[in-house]
Each structure stands twice: as structure tokens, then as C-alpha cells.
Structure 1
Amino acid sequence: MAVPLPIDMEYVTDILFRLLTTPSPTGCTDDVIRLCCAELERMGIRYELTRRGAIRADLKGVQSSPDRALVSHVDTLGAQVKMLKDNGRMELVPVGHWSSRFAEGARCTILTDRGPWRGTILPLKASGHTYNEEVDTQPVSWRQVELRVDAPCTNRRELEERGFNIGDFVSIDPQPEFLENGFIVSRHLDDKAGVAVMLGAAKAVVETGVPLPVDCHLLFTISEEVGSGASSVLHQDVAEMVTIDNGTVAPGQNSSEYGVTIAMADSTGPFDMALTRSLLSLCEAQNIPHQRDVFRYYRCDSASAIEAGNDIRTALICFGIDASHGYERTHVNALESLVRLLVLYMQSPPRD
């Protein structure tokens, strides 16, 4: 019988802040993985690292197999240096799928072989006193922005002398704000809020010692933003997997910044109906606020796991985010609702 557990939301918001302020664009996730490993060790949860650096952690249940998994991704959007330019600035390409519209004006850190440098991403025509109305009419694309590094660099040679190279990772400042009314505004809530929720649920289970019917694996993936996500991180006896990620709050969508958004389908097709309905039933039985949604332009760790040939049931539960892949916003109510649902799910019997 699944029972509600005490939820430490102070811990959830604290670890979310620490995750947000640890740079982790896809391909450069070692620091945030170390942070997650330290949290698992502190809670006494066994884990292993895959060859690529993702995490498989284990919460033991009464039955070992077939078991279940929760998954969230630690990697975020970012950029890489495409070219060192003759004007002493750098051309960029995106890491993950996001518009340069949201990169314009961003403060960032360039991660070079010799150490980090600070900089700003600017449109090619950034001075209103010079370009006048052309500032407003220039196209929106990654070819229309450049990175201005905060170093005395006026040409390509000076960039090279200071250690800048093609392929250097660029981490975008998250600028997190945790407001008194519960709103959380930051870049990279996708999916660091999901990671914080998963850690918060694990903490509740560990500290109460509640028995789990089957083993539950906590999976922290490192390449969801480029599509491969959970393709290689699963244990082979996992029968069902629940992904925690963002739900898009926008006209034409039913997601909300409050409660749990349960996805019925995304761009890769419907999620498993039996597993999804069991999650809906848990919300209804315990009065967890929730809504359903269907996403047209969205894929998650569930898709990569299925496409890799894993024979598993999958579902997707979300914290609603306004302005996804931009200046994102959610509410602490959504995170708390998700933690409540996850601790109930981990105690529930597996699907037949």
C-alpha cells in the first residue's frame, strides 16, 4: 500500500540551486555528475558510473527483478566555438536545439584548455548608436551572433595566444531566482529541476525506510539534449521507466506551472497506457493536482530508451515550464507535486 511520505522541499530547492550553478552543457557534464554522486553517497545510495559518465543508482526493493527506473538528465543547452574570427570574436554553434534569439545578450563562460574566460553573446549588429534600425531588422540565427570575450582580443592571433580554440564549450549563465511567492526563474530548469525532484524523492524514501516492492534505479543521463539520453544507461531487467522532465506551458498546450503534468504522447508517439494510467490513479487517490498534455515538438529520455531497442513500458511526468529552452520559469508547487507522486509510485506494485 503506497503511503504519502514527508517531503523536504528545502532540500529540493537547495540542491536545485546547486545544480543550476554547476555548468553542464551536453558533452561537459563531469562536474554536475560529481555533485550528484556526492549527494547519493551522502544518502547512502549505491551507484555506478557508465563508461560515458552517466549514473545508475539503486534503491533496493523486496523483489530484484523485473524492476523499475526513474530517469532525469543533467545535461543542458549550451554552445561551442565554431570559428575564431578576424575581429577577435568567436562564431558559435548551439549544443542542443535552441534559438539564438535566447542567446542574444547572455553572459557565459568559455571553457578553454587553460581555464575559463567570461564573455557575452551578442548579435553582429549590437550597437544602436551605430546601426540604428538595423539592430531590429537583422535576422535571427546562430550565424547572426558572436561571442565577445572579456579579454583584450582584437584579432584571431590574440585569441589563439590566450588559449581559445575551435570546439571550446560555452556554458550559459543560468541567472537563477527563487522568489518568495514560489516561482523559480532560471535557464536550465530543463532538466535540473527534474534531477532535484528525483533526489528529493530518493531522500524521502531513504530517510523513512519505507519498503519498496521492487528495485528502483535512479538514472542520471548526460546527453538528452542531443537525443541519445537513456539509450545505453538502462539495466537489462528494467520493465518500466518513468522520465521526469519539463512540460511546455504555452498557448495550445495543457501543461501548467502548478501540479504534475502527465504526458500522454510526444513527437515519437503515445506513452504506455497502463503505466500512465497507474500514475494518473495515484494522483487521483492522493489528491495530487495534475493535468494531461500531448506534445508535438518534444522528445525525452523515454524515446531514446525505446529507440535503442529496450522492451520496457515508459511514461513521462513533467513540471510545467513557461518559455522552455529560453528564460524558463516554474513553480515550487509543481516540484513538490512531482516528489509526492514519485514516492507513491516507488511504493506501488509493478505493472503485470
Structure 2
Amino acid sequence: MINQPDTAETKELIEQLVSIPSPSGFTEEVITFVEEYLKPFDVETKRNRKGGLIATIAGENSEEHRMLTAHVDTLGAMVKEVKSNGRLRLDLIGGYNYNSIEGEYCQIHTSSGETITGTILMHQTSVHVYKEAGKAERNQVNMEVRIDAKATNEKEVRAFGIEVGDFVSLDPRVELCENGFIKSRHLDDKASVAILLQLVKQIHEEKISLPYTTHFLISNNEEIGYGGNSNIPEETVEYLAVDMGAMGDGQSTDEFTVSICAKDASGPYHLGLRNSLVDLAKQHDIAYKLDIYPYYGSDASAAIKAGHDIIHGLIGPGIDSSHAFERTHEESLACTLQLLYHYVQSDMQRY
């Protein structure tokens, strides 16, 4: 009988993670946070040149390895233009729609290290001025950042140190509900990062001896397609991405189970590994759903496209309204952690 995961601690860890700004390309602070979190658990850590973090737990078998990955980089933006009206035009980082950030608070991170707050708005916001305000297209031309500084023109904005290429992060608006729901931006994929960190802690505290040397890659470029496609040891046989399960019309994924992906936009995941994960879930009475994510790619699919000879899989907690105002439930977090707990202790199948 395993110790039940402490979902309260997992949720608190998610709250800490989503509160650290980390759009793809701006992940140093959150990677350092993860690095410091892992220090008490006697795991070897190193950074790759892309800035991701790899933690390794030696196993009984050092000739065949496993790798699990989750990503800390998030959606965000970059300053595209300092406009003549003192507002900023954005260029998006990651795949999402402008309508999902209308009215959102944000932070502009200048190259000098200063942070200036702002709000993302339509240029034609005021209904008292713009008759067609509700009909204008939400796009790069019409949306802008109103900075919280006394600046009404380009020169005054630049005096605050804001320049083209500055990163812009989105306010997560995280809320831990008493009934177990977690509402926040960036649950993709910081919910799964928290789960992996909890797994490493549980392995350490229970003094579990893993059957295979296991690497935990905390990647930092997944949202732009290449977070987990390198630094995969040659001995790696199985590579499991831990990312969100996508919800919506026609999907079976929900917020109360672990989602096991059969196929995404990159194609099918390895059938043998998928069946092994399903068998583990059944064996240990873990609630799960099988699903297909039609417009989705993961670090595991990026690794396959990069040419790595691995068996790849994808699981994760169910996330509602992905790449927008996301939500999940502690039951989904617990199911995902339980499946991973049993997976890392299981024998590899000979597919």
C-alpha cells in the first residue's frame, strides 16, 4: 500500500511555480527554483546548454534507462513595437489566440532587469469612443499593452527601459479552491512539473530503489517545439512526457483522472508503452482515460522527430481550457502521480 500523495503540497508547489514568470526563452528563475527544490533529495542535477535541468536517480540497471520530462516554459509574448501612442505591440510566444489574453494583466521584463506592469487591451476598447469596439478582430494589429507608467509616446516609454525584444509574461491569476479545483494560467505544464518534483521527493523519502536509472528532464522550450529533443542518454529505452491532457468536444479526458495519450498531431504513441501504462492503472485502481489530442505535440514527439531511437509515451492530468484560463482538480493530480509512482518501479516490457 503506497502512501497517498499529499495533494495539498502539490497544489502549493503549483502555486509557487505558476507565480514565477517563465515564457519560453525566459526560464532562468524557474529552473533555479526547481534546482533548489531538488537539492535535499540526493539527486544528481545538471543543466543542458539550452538551460533545461536534468535530475538523475541511479537504478539497479544502469544499461537501460528511463527518462521522464515535464516543461516549465509557458506561453507569453515579446515586445514587437513601441508604438507612437505609448502602447506596446506584441508578438506571441507559443500557440494561443489573442482573444484569450484580452484584459489580462502582464509584466514587461526589461533587459536591465526592471519589471513594469501593464494590461493587454484592444486599441478600440472604450465603447464610448469606438462604436464597433466589440466587432474588431483580436489580432496583433488591434491589441496592445497599456503600461502602468506615465508615458504617452514612444520616447517616454523607452525612457523606462522598455525596448523591442523584452519578454512579456502573463498574470497567472492562480486560485486554489477549497473543493479541490486549481485555476490558473500555465498549468500546462507546471502542474506536471510539480507532480514530477513530488515523485522525486517520494522516492527519496520512501528510500525506493528504482529498477532502472531514471532521468527527470525539466525542459524549457516545449511551447516552441524543441524542449526535450536533446540530452537524451544513449541508454534511454523509454521516454515518457508528462504534460497536460487536453479537454473539449469529442475528448474523453476530464479533470478527475490521469489522461493517457494514444495519438496527437505527431502521430501514435508507442502502443506497447501505452498498454503497459493502462495495465498499471488497472492493476492499482487508478482512474484513467485514453484520449487523442488532435492539435498537440509533446517533448516526447519532439524527441522522436529529432531521430532518437526510443519508446515514447505521454500522460498527464486533465486540463480544461488549455492555453487560456486553465483548470484542473486535485484528483487528476493524484491519479497522475500514482501512475508515475508505479511506472518508475515497474519492469520494462519487451515489446
TM-score by length of 1: 0.97
**Cα drift, residue 25 of structure 1:** 0.3
1:73-124 deviation line (CA, Å, top 9, x unaligned)? 0000000000010000110010001100011101011000231000000011
CA distance in 1, matches of 2:140, 2:96: 10
Query: What are the residue-to-residue correspondences of 1:195-344 with 2, within 5 Å?
Result: 195-344=193-342
1:121 aligns with 2:89: no
CA contact (8 A) 2:11 2:182 kept: no
Match of 2:166 among 163, 168, 174: 168
SS of 2:32 mapped into structure 1: helix
1:101 partner amino acid: N
Match of 2:109 among 108, 111, 120: 111
**Cα drift, residue 213 of structure 1:** 0.6
**Cα drift, residue 269 of structure 1:** 0.4
CA contact (8 A) 1:47 1:55 kept: yes
1:251-306 deviation line (CA, Å, top 9, x unaligned)? 11111111111000000100001111110000000100011001111101011101
1:253 partner amino acid: Q
**Cα drift, residue 237 of structure 1:** 1.3
CA distance in 2, matches of 1:228, 1:165: 27
CA distance in 2, matches of 1:88, 1:26: 26
Who is 1:147 aligned against?
145
TM-score by length of 2: 0.98
CA contact (8 A) 1:54 1:233 kept: no
1:269 partner amino acid: G
CA distance in 1, matches of 2:74, 2:205: 30
Who is 1:185 aligned against?
183
**Cα drift, residue 5 of structure 1:** 4.0
- Give the number of equivalent residue pairs: 349
Who is 2:55 aligned against?
57
SS of 2:163 mapped into structure 1: coil
Query: What are the residue-to-residue correspondences of 1:26-41 with 2, within 5 Å?
Result: 26-41=24-39
1:17 aligns with 2:15: yes
Who is 1:156 aligned against?
154
CA contact (8 A) 1:5 1:343 kept: no
Who is 1:130 aligned against?
129
1:114-157 deviation line (CA, Å, top 9, x unaligned)? 3100000001111111113x111001222220011000111111
SS of 2:65 mapped into structure 1: strand
Query: What are the residue-to-residue correspondences of 1:89-100 with 2, within 5 Å?
Result: 89-100=87-98
CA distance in 1, matches of 2:170, 2:141: 18
**Cα drift, residue 68 of structure 1:** 0.3
**Cα drift, residue 12 of structure 1:** 1.1
- By percentage of residues, which structure has more helix? 1
Who is 1:71 aligned against?
69
**Cα drift, residue 39 of structure 1:** 0.9
CA distance in 2, matches of 1:306, 1:288: 28
1:350 aligns with 2:351: no
1:273 partner amino acid: L
